[in-house]
Structure 1
Amino acid sequence: MKTPALFLTALALLAAVPFVQAQTDAAQVTAAQKVSFSDPQLQQFADAYRSIVILSREYAPKVKAATDIEEAEALNREAQGKMVDAIKKSGLSKELYQQIATSLKSDPALVERINKMLQQGQPQQ
C-alpha cells in the first residue's frame, strides 16, 4: 500500500516552514511588532534551513516508498528529530527558529536577507 499524500504534504510543509505551530494571541502580538534579528542569528537560521532542506530531500522518497502508515509515521518522526537536531546544531533554539520562520511570512526584507545568506553559503550546483 502506498503512503497517503498526507504524509508527503506534512514532510513538505516541515521543510518549507519547519515546526511552525498554531499560535493565537502570541502570534498576533509578534506580528504586530517588528522583530529584529541579528546577522549571526539569521546566518544560524540559514544554516539550519539548508540542513532541513537536505533532510527533506533525503526523507521524501523514503516516506513515499513506505509500505504502510506506521512506517511513514516512523520515518516522519525520525526526520523531525534530525531536523530539530539540525536547528540545535546551528546554535538556535527551536523557538527562535520558529520565530524567524514565522517572521518570514510578513517581512520581505527579512526574506531577502536570508536568501542572500543562503546563496552565499552554498555553491551553485
Structure 2
Amino acid sequence: MKPTAILSALFALALAASTAFAESAVSDAQLQKFANAYRSIVTLSQEYAPQLKAAKDAAAAEAINVEAQSKMLAAVEGAGLSKEEYQGIASALQKDPALLQKVNALLKEPGAQ
C-alpha cells in the first residue's frame, strides 16, 4: 500500500460529509471546537506520516492507520464535538467561504486552543 493512499485514509475523518448537520447553522463555539480538533488532527497526521511511510507491509500500515484514526477521533471528541458534528462542519466549510474564513482566522490565532 502506497503511503499517499494511507495518508488519504487518515483524512477520511475530516473529509466525510454529514449533510444533515451541514444544513444547520454553525455557532462560533462550534467553530472554535472545530479549529481545536483540526489542529490536533494535523499534529497527529504529521506524527503518523513517517510511521506510515516506514511501514514494512500493508498489515503494519493498516495497524498504524487504525491507531491514527482512533487518536484523531479521540481528538475530535476531546475538543467537544462528535464525529458527525466535525464532519458536518467540514462539509459546511467547503460550501461556505465566509465560514471557512472564520475558521482560518481562528487557526491563525497564536496559542489558541
Q: Which residue of 2 aligns with 1:18?
A: 14
Give the aligned CA root-mean-square deviation in angstroms: 2.1
User: TM-score of the superposition, structure 1-length normalised?
Assistant: 0.79
Mark the runs of 5 or more structure 1 residues left unpaired by the alignment: none
Larger Rg, first or second structure (1 or 2): 1
Q: Which residue of 2 aligns with 1:119?
A: 108
- Superposed counterparts of 1:69-84, under 5 Å: 69-84=58-73
Q: Using a 3 Å threshold, how does the CA distance of structure 1 residues 60 and 36 change in structure 2: closer, same or farther?
A: same
Of structures 1 and 2, the one scoring higher in RCO (CA 8 A, sep 6+) is 2
Mark the runs of 5 or more structure 2 residues left unpaired by the alignment: none
Per-residue CA deviation, residues 16-49 of structure 1 (Å, 9 max, x unaligned), is x62615x7xxx3x766x4x311111110000000
Count matched residues. 111
Stretches of 4+ moved more than 4 A in 1? none
User: TM-score of the superposition, structure 2-length normalised?
Assistant: 0.86
Contact 2:15 2:91 in 1 (8 A): no
Q: Which residue of 2 aligns with 1:8?
A: 7
Q: Using a 3 Å threshold, how does the CA distance of structure 1 residues 30 and 89 change in structure 2: closer, same or farther?
A: closer
